[in-house]
A and B are shown apart, each in its own frame.
Chain A
Amino acid sequence: MPSLLFCGPKMAACGIVISIWGVIMLAMLGIFFSAKSAVLIEDVPFTEEDIRNDKNPPQNIYSLYNQVGINCFIAAAIYVVVGAVSLCQVRLNKRQEYMVT
C-alpha cells in the first residue's frame, strides 16, 4: 500500500500549530478588513487615482477593503486545509508508531 505519510511527527505538529494560528488570525483580519477598520488603511493597496476618480467616495476604497478581506478569508481556508492535512499526518505517524512497536 503506498503510504500517504510525507512528513515526520514534528513537522506535522508544526503544521497544526501554524494552521490554527493562521486560521484565527487571518479570519480576524478578514473580518476587520470587511468592517473597513481605519487602522488597517495602510495595508489596503489604494493609489492616488482611486481617490481622485471615485464617483461615489469612498466606494473605491471600500471595494478594495472587501477585496483584501476576501483574500484573507481564502487564505484562512487554505490554512484549514493545511491543518486538516497535518492532522491526518499526525494520525498516520501515530499508527506507524503502533505498528513498529
Chain B
Amino acid sequence: MGELFRSEEMTLAQLFLQSEAAYCCVSELGEIGMVQFRDLNPDVNVFQRKFVNEVRRCEEMDRKLRFVEKEIKKANIPIVDTGENPEVPFPRDMIDLEATFEKLENELKEINSNQEALKKNFLELTELKHILRRTQQFFDEMEDPSLLEESSTLIDPSDPNRGAPLRLGFVAGVIGRERIPTFERMLWRVCRGNVFLRQADIEDPLEDPTMGDQVHKSVFIIFFQGDQLKNRVKKICEGFRATLYPCPETPPERKEMLAGVHARIEDLQMVLNQTEDHRQRVLQAAAKTVRVWFIKVRKMKAIYHTLNLCNIDVTQKCLIAEVWCPISDMDSIQFALRRGTEKSGSTVPSILNRMQTKQTPPTYNKTNKFTSGFQSIVDAYGMGSYREMNPAPYTIITFPFLFAVMFGDFGHGALMTCAALYLVLRETRLMAQKIDNEMFNMVFAGRYIILLMGIFSVYTGAIYNDCFSKSLNVFGSGWSVRPMFSPQVGGNWTFKTLEDNNILQLDPAVDGVFRGPYPIGIDPIWNIANNKLTFLNSFKMKMSIILGVIHMLFGVSLSLFNHLYFNKPLNIYLGFIPEIIFMSSLFGYLVILIFYKWISYDASTSKDAPSLLIAFINMFLFNYNDPTNKPLYRGQSGLQIFLVLIALACVPCMLVVKTLVLRRQYLWRKRLGTQNFGGIRVGNGPTEDEAEIIQHDQLSQHSEDGPEFNFGDVAVHQAIHTIEYCLGCISNTASYLRLWALSLAHAQLSEVLWSMVMHIGLSSRSYGGAVLLAVIFCFFAILTVAILLIMEGLSAFLHALRLHWVEFQNKFYSGQGFKFLPFTFESILDGRLEE
C-alpha cells in the first residue's frame, strides 16, 4: 500500500548491450515491461536508423498476415485464441517465418485467382444455360401457328408481305434486372420501335465472381430486321453491359448445345468444389496459428523499433540505451538482462548503470485491479508530478462516499451492488470473453468503483431512510400523536380540531410527542409528513457543508506533506499555515457552529434558535445588533471579530510576504556568487567552511542554469494563487451544496416514479389488480434502471468527479507530470494495435 501514496522512485539508467545479445535482452525487458526507453537519436530520420531494414521486413510480414486474416474472416472460420504467449523468435528464425508467410500468401493468391477464373467461367455457362432454356420458350411462342394467326390478323390484313415469313435476326443475352426498364426504353427510342424485345427473369440469384455478392439478372432476346439495326442493338447492349451469347438458330442445334453446356457445368462444379475444399483446408490450418504468428511478428517489430532508439557505440561492439526504470524493480531488470544474455549465448554480460540527472523522471503509480480504476480517475485530470502526493488512495473512499451522498437510496444502492458484484465475481470469465463493446468495457473497468459506490449508497440510503422513496420503520418512530390529545401534558387537540383542519403540526414541546431520535438515520415518520422537504433540506444542506469543509481541509493538509517532502519550508510557513488558518477560522468555525446548534437547542428552546446563515453573514459585516437573530452563545461577537481579523491577516501573508521573502533569498544567493572552475561550480559561502561544490557538469546530463528570478512574474503568480484560494474557499464551499441538490433531485425523482407508476399498480380494489401490478412492476423496474440507476447515477458520478478534481485536488495536486510508458508486450498480447 505504501507505494500508492506517492509515485514510484525512478532513476535514469544506461544499458550497455552487446550487439549479439541486444535483441534477446530487449525481448526479455519487453516481457517484464518495466523500463521506458529514451530516444537517443532524435535527430536521425526514421529511414536512416540502424534496424530500419528489419522493421521493414517485419512490416511486410505483418501485411501478409493481415491479408491471411482477412481471408480467414471472409471464409467465416473462427481464429483460435488459446491465450498463450509465444516466445520471441530469434532473428535467425525471421527468414523461416518470412518464407512460410510468403508461401502461404502466394498459395492463397493463386487459389483466389483460380477460383475467380473458374467462377467466371461458371457464371458464363450458367447464363448461357438460362438463355438457351428461356429463348426456347420465345421461339416456341413465335412458331405457334395459333398465336401467329391472331397477331397477324390484328396487324394489317392487306399487308403485301404477308404470307412470306420474314427473315428476322436476333441476339440473346443477359442483363442486370434493375437495368431492364431503361434498356427497353433506349432500344425503343434508338430503333424507333422496330425491334422486338422479350425478357424473362432468372429466378435464382447469380454470384458475381469478382465481388462475391449475389446479383439478380434477366435473360433477354431481341428480334430485328437488317444489319443496321443489328449494329445499333449490339452497341446498346454493350453500353448497358449486357453479356451477349451466341445462340444457334435451329432447335436441334440449341438442344445439342444445351446438353453440352450441362455437361460442362457439372465438370466445372466439381472442380470448383475441390478448389473451395482446398482453400478451406489452407485457411483452417492458418487460422490455428495466425494469432501466434501475429504476436511473434509484432513482438519482433517492437524490439527492432526499440533497438532503433539506442545509440550505437563507435566500436560497433555494443548498443547503448538510456532507460527510465523504477528503483524498486532494478533487481528484476538485472535478472532479465542476465537471462537475455544467457539465451543469446553471449559471454559478455550486459550492464545496467544508474545515472544522475536533473531531468524530471516520469510518474509511475503501481496499481492492481482494484486501485487502477481510482488511479485512472485521478490521471484523467492530470498525471501527477513526480513523487507528488497521489490523491488516489483517498479517492478510494471519498469518491464512492460523495457519490453515495448524492445517490442515497437503499434499494437503488442494493441493485447497483448486485450488478457490480456480478461483474466482480465473474471477472475472469468476462475477461476471457473479450467483449468488444466499448460501453461494457468502460463499466467493466470501473467494476470495483461501482461496487463501492453501491455499498456506500446502501449505507447513505439507510441514513436517509429511503428505499425506492419509501422509509423502513425498523425501530419504531420516536413521534407520537396521542399526547397531543391529553391536556395534562399540554396537548390542545380535540376531535373538533381534526374535523376542522386538513393539516396539523405536531408540537415536540408537548411532553411525549417526541420521544428522542430514531436509532439510525432519519425517522420514518418524515416520509409521510407534509413538511418533509423543509426538514430534509435543512439537514442535507448542513451535511453538505460539513462534508465539504472537511474534505477541503483534508486537501489542504495533504499539501503540507508535499511541502515537507520537497523540503520547501517557505511554502509551509507562508503557504500552508495561512491557508489552513484562513479556511478553518471562517468555514471550520461555521461547521462548529452547525454542530453547536444541533446539540445545544432542544424541542423547548428551538423557537429561539438563530438562523446560522444570517449569523454567518453578520459575522463578516461585524453586525451584532440584529434583534431578530439572537447570539448563539455568550462572547460570540468577540470570538467572531477575532476570527475574521485572523483570516484577513492571512491574506497579505500569502499575497505579499512570500514574494518578498523569495526575492530576499534570491538576492542573498546572488551576492554570494559562484565560480566555475572547468565545469565544476564552486559557491562561496559567507565563511570559508560553507564553500561547496554546487554543481558538477560531468555528473549532469544537461547543464542548465538555475531559473532566473523574475520579481514581476513571481508576484503576479503568487497574487493569482492567493486570490484563487481565498475566493475558492467561498465558492468551493458553496459548490459542495451540489451534494444536497443532487440528493434532493434523486429522492424527488424516485418519489415521482413511485407515485406515477407503482401507485397505479397498487391502487386496485379487486384481484384483477394483481395482473396489472405485475405489468406495472415491469415498467417500474425498467424505468428505475434507465432513469434512476443509469441516468441519475451518471449525473451523480459526474458531480462526484468534479468535486474531486476541482474542489479537492486543486488544494494540493499540480498534476504536471508525464506518464511512465514502459516498453511492454502486453498490448500486443491483447491483440490491440499500437500507435
Whether A and B are associated in the same complex: the answer reads: yes
Which residues of A line the B interface, CB within 8 A? Answer: 18, 21-22, 25-26, 29, 37-45, 64, 67-68, 70-72, 74-75, 78-79, 82
A18 close to B778 (CB less than 8 A): yes
State whether the Cβ of B794 lies closer than 8 Å to any Cβ in chain A. no
A41 to chain B, nearest CB (A): 7
Is the pair B759, A78 in contact by a Cβ cutoff of 8 Å?
no
Taken together as a complex, chains A and B put the C-alpha atoms of A26 and B778 apart, in Å, by 11
Q: Is B470 an interface residue (CB 8 A)?
A: yes
Is B473 on the interface with A (CB-CB < 8 A)?
yes
Q: Which residue of A lies closest to B469 (CB)?
A: A39
CB neighbours of B766 from chain A (8 A): 67
Partner of B762, one of A21, A38, A68, A74: A68
Per-residue 0/1 for B509-535: is the Cβ within 8 Å of any A Cβ (1 yes, 0 no)? 000000000000000100110000000
Would you call B759 and A71 a contact (CB within 8 A)? no
B607 at interface by CB-CB < 8 Å: no
Alpha-carbon separation in the docked complex, A82 to B764 (Å): 22
Closest B residue, CB atoms, query A18: B781
Q: Are A26 and B773 in contact (CB under 8 A)?
A: yes
Tell whether A43 pairs with B415 under 8 Å between CB atoms, given A21-B781, A26-B777, A75-B774: no
Main secondary structure of the interface of B (DSSP, over half): helix
Alpha-carbon gap, A68 to B770, bound state (A): 8
B471 within 8 A of A: yes
Whether A75 touches B528, Cβ cut-off 8 Å, given contacts A42-B759, A70-B767, is no
User: B769 near A: Cβ within 8 Å?
Assistant: yes
Given A38-B528, A45-B765, A64-B765, decide whether A71 and B770 contact each other with a Cβ distance below 8 A. yes
- Known A-B contacts A71-B767, A74-B767, A74-B770; A43 and B777 likewise in contact (beta carbons under 8 Å): no
* Other-chain contact of A78, B473, B771, B781 (Cβ < 8 Å): B771
User: In the complex, how many residues of chain B place their beta carbon closer than 8 angstroms to a beta carbon of chain A?
Assistant: 27
Collect the chain A residues with CB atoms within 8 Å of residue B368's CB: none
Minimum distance in angstroms from A32 CB to a CB of chain B = 9
Residues of B within 8 A of A (CB): 411, 415, 468, 470-471, 473, 524, 527-528, 755, 758-759, 761-767, 769-771, 773-774, 777-778, 781
Q: How far is the CA of A37 from the CA of B769 in the complex (A)?
A: 20
Q: Contacts A21-B781, A72-B773, A75-B773; is A43 near B473 (CB within 8 Å)?
A: no
Residues of B close to A74: CB separation below 8 A? 767, 770-771, 773
A41→B524 CA distance, assembly (Å) = 13
Q: How far is the CA of A42 from the CA of B532 in the complex (A)?
A: 15
Q: 18 A-B contacts, Cβ less than 8 Å apart?
A: A21-B415, A25-B468, A26-B774, A26-B777, A29-B762, A39-B473, A42-B528, A43-B758, A43-B759, A44-B762, A45-B765, A67-B765, A68-B769, A71-B773, A74-B767, A75-B771, A75-B774, A82-B774
Check B778 against A43 for contact (C-beta < 8 Å).
no
- How distant is B790 from chain A, measured CB to nearest CB, in Å? 15
Query: CA separation between A62 and B48, bound complex, in Å?
Result: 91
Q: Is the CB of B470 within 8 A of A39?
A: yes
Give Cα distance in the complex from A39 to B758, angstroms. 14
Give the chain B neighbours of A72 by CB distance below 8 A.
762, 770, 773
Given contacts A18-B781, A42-B528, A78-B774, contact A71 B473 (CB under 8 A): no
Question: Do A41 and B528 form a contact, CB below 8 Å, given A22-B777, A71-B770, A78-B771?
Answer: yes
Bound: A25/B415 CA distance, A: 12
Of the candidates B411, B470, B761, B765, the one having the most CB atoms from chain A within 10 angstroms of its own CB is: B765
Q: A18-B781, A22-B777, A71-B764 are in contact. Are A39 and B528 (CB under 8 A)?
A: yes
Please determine whether A75 and B473 come into contact, CB atoms closer than 8 angstroms.
Answer: no
Task: Determine how close the nearest CB of chain A comes to the CB of B633; give it in whole angstroms.
Answer: 39
Q: Give chain B residues whose Cβ lies under 8 Å from the Cβ of A75.
A: 761, 770-771, 773-774, 777
Query: A26 to B781, alpha carbons, bound, how many Å?
Result: 12
* Residues of B close to A43: CB separation below 8 A: 758-759, 762-763
Given the known inter-chain contacts A22-B777, A45-B763, A75-B777, please indicate yes or no for A38 contacting B769, CB distance below 8 A: no
Closest 6 CB pairs of A and B: A74-B770, A45-B763, A75-B773, A75-B774, A43-B762, A78-B774
Residues of B within 8 A of A18 (CB): 778, 781
Residue of B nearest to A45 (CB): B763
A61 CA to B742 CA in the complex, in Å?
37
CB distance from B171 to the nearest CB of A (A): 49
Complex Cα distance, B769 from A25, in Å, reads: 17
Chain A proximity of B763: nearest CB distance (Å): 4
The residues of B that contact A39 with a CB separation of less than 8 Å are 470-471, 473, 524, 527-528
**Which of A26, A40, A71 has a CB less than 8 Å from the CB of B769?**
A71
How many angstroms between the C-alpha atoms of A39 and B471 in the bound complex?
Answer: 7
Given the contacts A38-B473, A39-B471, A39-B524, A71 and B762 also touching, CB distance less than 8 Å: yes
A15 to B397, CA, bound (A): 34
CB-CB under 8 A from B774, the residues of chain A are 22, 26, 75, 78-79, 82
| Pairwise interchain contact B765-A22, C-beta atoms closer than 8 A | no
B-chain residues with CB within 8 Å of residue A68 when the two chains form the complex: 762-764, 769
Which residues of chain B are near A71, meaning CB under 8 Å? 762, 764, 767, 769-770, 773
Is A45 touching B771 in the complex (CB atoms < 8 A)? no
| Across-interface contacts of B759 in A (CB, < 8 A) | 42-43
B470 contacts A40, C-beta separation under 8 Å: yes
Considering the chains assembled together, what is the distance between the CA atoms of A42 and B769 in angstroms? 17
- Chain A residues with CB under 8 Å of B471's CB are 39
Instruction: Beyond A26-B774, A75-B774, list 7 extra A-B contacts (CB 8 Å).
Output: A38-B528, A44-B762, A44-B763, A45-B762, A45-B765, A74-B767, A75-B771
The chain A residue with its CB closest to the CB of B763 is A45
A93–B670 CA distance with the chains assembled, in angstroms:
81
Nearest CB of A to B285, in Å: 20
Selected contact of B781 from candidates A22, A38, A64, CB within 8 Å: A22
Q: Tell me which residues across on chain B come within 8 A of A78, comparing CB atoms.
A: 770-771, 774
Chain A residues near B527 (CB-CB < 8 A): 39
* Minimum CB–CB distance for A74 against chain B, Å: 3
Q: Chain A residue with minimal CB distance to B778?
A: A18
- How far apart sit A41 and B528, CA to CA, in the bound complex (Å)? 9
